[in-house]
Chains A and B, each alone.
Chain A
Amino acid sequence: MATLYLIFIIFLGGAILTYYAGKLGSVLQDIIFLATILGATSLFYAGVHINDFMSFNPGGITLTWGINYFGWLFSLIVLGLGSLAAVYSVGYMKGKKRRGYFYFNFILSIMAMLGILVSQDLISFFIFWEIMTWSSYLMVIYNGKDDQKLGLKYFIFSAIGAYAMLMAIVMVHSVTNTFLIGNMIEAYPQMSLSWQIWIPILFLTAFGVKAAMMPLHVWAPGAYSSSPMAYTSVFSGALSKMGIYGMVIILVTMISHLPQGIWFRETLAWLGGLTAALGTLWAIKQDDAKKLLAYSSIAQLGYIITGVAIGTELGLLAGLFLAVMHALFKGTLFMVVGAIEKQTGTTNFTEVTGLIRKMPWTFFSALLAIIALAGIPPLGGFVGKWMLYEALITSNHYLLVILIFFASTAAFLYCYKFLFGFFMGQEEKEWEHVKEAPATMVVPMVLMALFMAVLGSWPGIILNPINNGLVDLGFVSTYKHLWDTSILFNSWGNQVVLKPLLYSVVAIFVFFAIVLIWKGFKGTRYVSTKDISSSGEVPGENENLTFSLGFAQPFLRAVGPVMKRQIDRYYTEFADGLESFFEFLRRIYTGNGQTYAIYVFVFVVIVLLFKDVLF
């Protein structure tokens, strides 16, 4: 079991080595960085056995490390996405400043996330949780300055979450006298009712912050968009899943014991649904790709929270499958944005247009990722969406399913905006020089895109580990009764067969693509985007005909009343209120001896008057 130590030593040593190797040469730094991540990953999958725990006793506290099936599922997200993002980072960080800083924090983040998954006691869980928060905070302020206080906002919310978790840990310890998660779960049913309610609430606050759940999501758009894109793919893809990881454990092991657990579930599910709907609406409004994807992340995490919170087998399957899918497609999309940012220098839809012929592979992976995000068959996103809907319908959440449906239909608008804004539209002369991103950036994106396409027809690849994880948490196996390798069932027994669907989609598509033009693609001639029917006028070189400003204006007008106020505003008002309250308190200290004398006098009078009542 020493492999686990070795992995963490590799991570720590690699992080420090990478940081200092920058002085020797950037290539060496890249190599050490990649070797650390990839070496630790391969060591983890080769040498670590599932359900093999080990304990040690520093300072009289028993700490236990080890991984179960459920953690192993999430380790796929963390290490899989982490290594691909690491390869991507090498290309992305080429020629950028502060590479050592970036690599150091990147490795620490991956290590911390893996640490969360392997820690079976609350102390190491909390320590790794804090390392994760710190390293991601340092990434958010990568640019050195925190002008818009985005990093500060993230840090404040993380701190609130951390204190909540710490309080819960202390409460648990005061009852059970141990920090082991297993013991906590065992002791939970015997606790008093108010503790049974407060401990999950405190834990869920901590996890809800990381999972960007409403109303704790306000840090996410800023933090996601201001950290470097190579890290944001991990940030949004994997780091936010740690919240889901904790949430599932709390929901399944604690709340299901609670007689009033249904209220927890319903509140969480509705919060998830609202997060999805409002996140989608705000995503449609954004003109910056990073912001758009950040809000879209919030929305997608809303689906996952809903799926997890309703708590049926199908719901959990849906939520966890969507979690994996979200890691894949949102990781890809942030990588796409990073590639575009690197090649063009901007991520604004109103500036960049018509990159499809310049960056075809980036477009290809963005297209597949968007199809998966929108949940359109035959890609993997559909599997998760289908299971989520069926779970909601079969568990009698009729209004929630409509809310979720509204969110995912409205998501088409920002999906189209993303693809259209970057890749479609007029090809401007300004971007003529743009080339495809380097291979180290393209290969991870395309690999992930292809994996998404495979998951669309063979979701069993991921559903199997999810099933093992759920069995680990105490569910019965769902294999063959909710899913087979490429067949999905709902609990009413209706099914969707995925494999022939893929074949027929491809067959029909190829058939019509060939028949469409008898002469074939080569027979037709490419004409530039300036050669369009614009009433006979030939658009000038610098005439911008792209439709990118006020993109979905009519839709936003129709939903205008919902979007009048941001939750962010309430927090700001709360902070302002606190500030003025403290300002009032400060007035008490006038610095005048006479006033203080009056205070003393008043105090004495009050004490004398109310002495019977008070004492």
Chain B
Amino acid sequence: MELFINILGAIVTFLVAFIVGMTYGGLNRKITARVQNRKGPPFYQNFIDAFKLSSKETAIHHGIMHYLGPAFLMVSSVMTLLIVPVFTNNGWFPNLNFKGDLIFLIYIMTFGPLGMALGSGQTGNPNAAIGVTRGLSQMVGFEIPWVMALIALMIQYHTTSIEGLMEAQAQTGTWFMFSSPFAFIAAILAMFGMFRYSPFDIVSAPTELASGPASENGGKYLFVMMSSGSVFTFAKLTLYVDLFLGGAANLPVLLLKTFALYLIPILYGMTTPRYRTEQAIRWFWGWPSFFGLLAIIQAVIL
């Protein structure tokens, strides 16, 4: 019975993540439009796009890996969502909440992109493969400051599980954002690469790579990729809130915190043109890694 409730909770979490992620995507488009002095699409435009894509015919596949590529991506997003605790006290809807920890999370987050990379590789479109190698290169870039920030937290509080870190925040009463500011800065800077918004949108690179790995995927493939992206956005933002902003006890607080975090990469991206791949990598190995190093030093000293 408990398992049943847990599974039900997981499905509800998934739906909430889907809706919130899609809405955030729509708001992103709206905000971008307002910054560019346009009226912009309605905030629910992403839902319309998603439903349209799902109602589109998908008559072709380039082979079994291409067919399964978006499913790989979805697995990774959903697994990330199921590992991240959504609420501090597991409130309204219980999640599955596996016994996993941050290292596991980092690796399960790479599972999907690699599966998708195989799928887009099988299409034989050169743009797709170029996009994939760019994405993997960028990942090597931003994972360094991100892991530095996480390790700083881990060694300071002697736990590697997300729940343990949340408990530590609850006990000390301060958010890690204030108690470990360098780790927070490094993690936020790594987030730019994770979200792949404007200066770091070298993977899909509109007008340059013809949308990169997604270039042969239309219709339902794209629908699954889009919803996976939305769920992933929500999961990542929730993870940041859990780690640095003390978690959230209920939905409005969660939405407030996640949206505040979400604004950072969006607003940064609007004013910055795209980097080249090696510039992006070196950017992440510059100041973000320096802050990560400071975070580790702080954690060792304290």
> Which A residues are closer than 8 A to B by beta carbons?
354, 356-357, 367, 371, 374-377, 382, 385-386, 389-390, 393, 396, 398-399, 401-402, 405-406, 409-410, 412-413, 415-417, 419-420, 423-427, 487, 490, 492, 494-497, 500-501, 504-505, 508-509, 512-513, 516-518, 521, 524-534, 545-547, 551-552, 554-555, 557-559
Given contacts A427-B124, A500-B98, A554-B276, contact A413 B137 (CB under 8 A): yes
User: Assuming the A-B contacts A420-B121, A494-B161, A546-B126, are A376 and B107 also in contact, with contact meaning beta carbons closer than 8 angstroms in the complex?
Assistant: yes
B75 neighbours in A (Cβ, 8 Å) = 505, 508-509, 512
Which parts of B265-287 form the interface with A (CB within 8 Å)? 276-278, 281-282, 285
Complex CA distance for A505 and B100, rounded to whole angstroms: 13
> 16 more A-B contacts (CB under 8 A) besides A406-B143, A424-B118, A426-B124?
A382-B104, A393-B155, A413-B133, A420-B117, A490-B160, A495-B101, A500-B98, A512-B71, A517-B67, A517-B220, A526-B61, A531-B60, A545-B126, A552-B137, A554-B276, A555-B137
Does B68 count as interface, using CB distance less than 8 angstroms?
yes
Which of A500, A509, A517 has its CB near the most chain B CB atoms (within 10 A)?
A: A517
Query: Does B245 count as interface, using CB distance less than 8 angstroms?
Result: no
Nearest CB of chain A from residue B108's CB, rounded to whole Å: 6
Query: Given that A386-B103, A416-B117, A555-B278 are contacting pairs, would A424 and B160 also be in contact in the complex, using a CB cutoff of 8 Å?
Result: no
- Cβ B277 vs Cβ A555 within 8 A: yes
B124 near A382: Cβ-Cβ < 8 Å: no
- Residues of A close to B281: CB separation below 8 A: 554-555, 558-559
Tell me the chain B residues, 56-102 only, with Cβ under 8 Å from chain A.
Answer: 58-65, 67-68, 70-72, 74-75, 78-79, 82, 96, 98-101
The answer to whether B70 touches A516 (Cβ under 8 A) is: yes
- How many chain B residues touch A (CB < 8 A): the figure is 74
Q: Report the bound CA distance from A516 to B276 in whole Å.
A: 34
The CA-CA distance from A583 to B90 in the complex, in Å, is: 78
Q: Residue on A with the closest CB to B103?
A: A389
CB distance from B281 to the nearest CB of A (A): 4
Q: How far is the CB of B86 from chain A (nearest CB, A)?
A: 16
Inter-chain contacts of B117 with A (CB < 8 A): 416, 420
> In whole angstroms, what is the CA distance A487 to B161 when docked?
14
- Min CB distance B99 to A, Å, is 4
Inter-chain contacts of A501 with B (CB < 8 A): 79, 98, 100
B108 contacts A424, C-beta separation under 8 Å: no
**Contact indicator A409/B118 (Cβ below 8 Å):** no
Query: Can you sample 12 A-B contacts with CB below 8 Å?
Result: A386-B104, A396-B155, A402-B148, A402-B151, A405-B144, A419-B121, A487-B99, A494-B101, A509-B72, A527-B61, A545-B124, A554-B278
Bound: A36/B244 CA distance, A: 61
How far, in Å, is A372 (CB) from chain B's closest CB?
12
Residues of A within 8 A of B50 (CB): none
Q: Is the CB of B101 within 8 A of A496?
A: yes
Roughly how many angstroms separate A412 CA and B132 CA in the complex, as a whole number? 11
Residue of A nearest to B83 (CB): A501
CB of B129 closer than 8 Å to a CB of A: yes
Interface centre among A354, A356, A357, A554 (most CB of B within 10 A): A554
Contact of B140 among A385, A401, A496, A555 (CB under 8 A): A555
A393-B151 in contact (CB<8A) = yes
B142-176 CB contacts (< 8 Å) to partner A:
143-144, 147-148, 151, 154-155, 158-161, 164
Chain B residues within an 8 Å CB radius of A559: 281
Q: A70 CA to B276 CA in the complex, in Å?
A: 51
B164 touches A525 (CB 8 A): no
A55 to B150, CA, bound (A): 54
The 0/1 profile, CB within 8 Å of A marked 1, for residues 193-213 of chain B is 000000000000000001000
A413 touching B140 in the complex, CB below 8 Å, given contacts A526-B62, A551-B133: yes
CB nearest neighbor in A for B202:
A554
Q: List 3 tightest A-B contacts by C-beta distance, closest first.
A: A529-B124, A424-B121, A554-B277
- Cβ–Cβ contact B107 & A382, under 8 A: yes
Contacts of A533 in B (CB 8 A): 125, 210, 215-216
Complex: chain A residue closest to B101, CB-CB: A494
Residue of B nearest to A420 (CB): B121
CA A498 to CA B90, docked complex, whole Å: 22
Which chain A residues border B277 with CB–CB below 8 Å?
Answer: 554-555, 558
User: In the complex, what residues of A have CB within 8 A of residue B140's CB?
Assistant: 406, 409-410, 412-413, 555
Return the contact of B144 from the options A385, A402, A417, A497 (Cβ within 8 A): A402
Residues of B within 8 A of A377 (CB): 104, 107-108, 111
Q: Mark B3-36, 1 if CB is under 8 A from A, else 0.
A: 0000000000000000000000000000000000
